Amino acid sequence: MRAATIRDGEVGVEDHPDPVAGAGEVLVRIRAAGLNGADIMQRKGKYPAPPGSPADIPGLEFAGEVVDLGAGAQRFARGDRVMAIVGGGGQAELCQVHERQLMPVPEGLDWAAAGGLPEVFTTAHDALFTQGLLKPGERLLVHGAAGGVGTAAVQLGARGGARVTATVRDPERREGVAALGAHEVVDPEGFEEHGPFDVVLELVGAPNLPGNVKALATGGRIIVIGVGAGAKAELNLIALMGKRGTLRASTLRARPLEEKAATARALETQVLPGFADGTLTVPVAATFALDAVRDAYERFQAGGKLGKVVLETD
């Protein structure tokens, strides 16, 4: 098979042996695979794949068709449209994955949207509702809301009955984020003046932390799942104590199978119906052929986009 391959800090396309579905696994012919910040970090050597995932093939999410079943696998049949998050290896023509990590692709969703759905919506849903305990009527702040996880979080927060404020640096992207359900879209500078917030979803990184604490409502929760702008900050613990606030941080990639399966089942029951009825969407900023993977990575890093950058393998 052909796959995006990281060599010496660069990404290109190389031939690899075809993977084989093991016990309980499914082999998927990949049609589309989304790019994420973790792929950029892995290319730079800062985020290695977890044990059991390919060390040199990036890709945390994909969508495609089942082409083979390992021993004991029975949740899906050959030809089924499926999607999943994986520890790596998603930006390829083939990928094997445990059947419990797979989800059905909702009817009417095209390959590009399906390939850009699993990682960002699973991450956003887990952060908002499992980690952040977001409730209807609460106020939610989403930083970096024009990116993949940000656009998912805005939609899920609004769908869950929260009042959503989103920070977006590029003025040209604010209208698009508002159309996804944000009640207020603001410049990142001075965001704390728009609080207080019950939940703050931090997708940018450490520079926002002092402002997040200042903007926090009493009993509020800060959930950190992105640190692209920096990982170290000074935290005033007295201010956090005064808010009786909670600071949590989370990643998805290295979780064990049981936990990944639980997030997949939560997405199936609580989120995927929103794609079937048209109340949720996957904004796709750009698509690239697998052979143009280097251009796709450059587009992802260039910024100024609303939603996902997706590789298509056809």
Q: Are 123 and 225 in contact (CB under 8 A)?
A: yes
In the chain, where are the structural domains located? 2-117+253-312, 121-249
Q: Which residue has the tokens 């640190």?
A: 227
The pLDDT of residue 254 is 85
Catalytic residue check, 297: no
The domain made up of 2-117+253-312 has a fold known as Quinone Oxidoreductase; Chain A, domain 1 (3.90.180)
The pLDDT of residue 304 is 86
The residue annotated as part of the active site, out of 1, 22, 47, 268, is: 47
Q: Which amino acid is at 150?
A: G
**What is the pTM assigned to this prediction?**
0.94
CA dihedral 113, 115, 119, 120 (to 10 degrees): -20
The pLDDT of residue 89 is 97
The Cα diameter of the chain in Å comes to 57
Q: What is the mean pLDDT of the chain?
A: 96
Residue 263 has pLDDT above 90, yes or no: yes
Mean pLDDT (whole number) for 259-268: 95
Give Cα separations from 170 to 126, 173, 186, 187, 296 (angstroms): 27, 6, 10, 8, 20
Question: Per the structure block, which two tokens stand in for 100?
Answer: 């419990």
Write down the architecture of domain 121-249 according to CATH.
3-Layer(aba) Sandwich (3.40)
